């Protein structure tokens, strides 16, 4: 497993940070009918209860937004992807279907409200550090083009930044050729449900992505 550490800069600003980490071998395939059925059912349930106000009041969403503010980034302009997904569901737009691995990650995200990042491990070079984005640091977000990651929470490897809770990067994105997958749940506040979220997601990957060699861990400050 790639070693993951947290920078001193983030430790000082976000002392309650917890990372839930899962590394797993997967078979990545186009979105299939079984996964779509599970997700559409859950989306229908969420549509009935979610509103912009209820989303803002979720503990995980509030923690995400508070963390962005502490780092000096506007959480409404650079909205964490988990909140964006929940808002999409609340507006009746459902979820995009990408592939089985990404779809399951997004399902966990709307179930929990946690910021969750997912990467093709074979595209990551060396150890990983969770830090703060720098001015003019190059970054291409999936579906977003060039993204200003200054003051965003950022994952970096020996090449540079490759992930944020706002948008994962094109460089390490999960495709149908991905066989070695890294998922990181970011708990900016209350992290009591992270371990359960890891377990539930691992079970889904076993069932729908032929997952093997699952390694889970928690990194808490």
CA separation, residue 107 to residues 135, 156, 160, 180, 193 (Å): 33, 25, 28, 20, 15
Quote the pLDDT of residue 127: 97
Quote the pLDDT of residue 148: 97
Quote the pLDDT of residue 42: 97
The residues near 128 (Cβ < 8 Å, ≥ 6 apart) are 2, 3, 4, 5, 155, 156, 157
Dmax over Cα atoms in the chain, in whole Å? Answer: 45
Retrieve residue 73's tokens. 């980034």
Nearest-angstrom CA–CA distance, 106 and 141: 17
pLDDT along the chain (221 residues), means of 10: 92 95 98 95 96 95 96 96 96 96 98 96 98 97 95 98 97 98 94 94 97 96 83
Nearest-angstrom CA–CA distance, 70 and 210: 40
Smallest CA-to-CA distance from 178 within 166, 167, 168, 165 is with: 168
Torsions phi, psi for 25 (to 5 deg): -85, 130
* Number of residues in the chain: 221
How far from the centroid of its chain's Cα atoms is residue 74's Cα?
A: 18
Quote the pLDDT of residue 192: 86
How big is the chain by its Cα radius of gyration, in Å? 16
At 191, is the secondary structure helix, strand, or coil? coil
Side-chain-side CA neighbours of 46 within 13 Å: the count stands at: 27
Quote the pLDDT of residue 221: 83
pTM listed for this prediction: 0.96
Domains of the chain, start order: 4-220 (3.50.40.10)
């Amino acid at each position: 497993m790639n070693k993951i550490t947290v920078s001193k800069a983030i430790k000082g600003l976000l002392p309650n940070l917890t990372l839930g980490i899962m590394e797993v071998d997967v078979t990545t395939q186009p979105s299939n009918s079984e996964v779509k059925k599970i997700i559409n059912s859950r989306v229908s349930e969420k549509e009935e209860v979610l509103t912009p106000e209820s989303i803002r009041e979720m503990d995980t969403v509030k923690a995400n937004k508070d963390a962005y503010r502490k780092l000096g980034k506007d959480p409404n302009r650079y909205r964490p992807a988990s909140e964006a997904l929940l808002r999409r569901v609340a507006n009746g737009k459902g979820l995009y279907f990408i592939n089985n691995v990404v779809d399951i990650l997004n399902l966990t995200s709307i179930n929990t409200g946690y910021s969750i990042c997912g990467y093709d491990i074979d595209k990551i070079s060396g150890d990983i550090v969770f830090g703060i984005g720098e001015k003019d640091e190059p970054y291409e977000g999936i579906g977003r083009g060039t993204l200003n990651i200054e003051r965003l929470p950022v994952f970096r490897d020996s090449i540079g930044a490759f992930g944020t809770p706002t948008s994962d990067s094109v460089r390490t994105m999960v495709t149908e050729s991905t066989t070695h997958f890294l998922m990181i749940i970011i708990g900016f506040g209350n992290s009591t449900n992270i371990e359960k979220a890891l377990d539930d997601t691992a079970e889904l990957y076993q069932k729908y992505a032929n997952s093997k060699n699952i390694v889970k861990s928690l990194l808490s400050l």
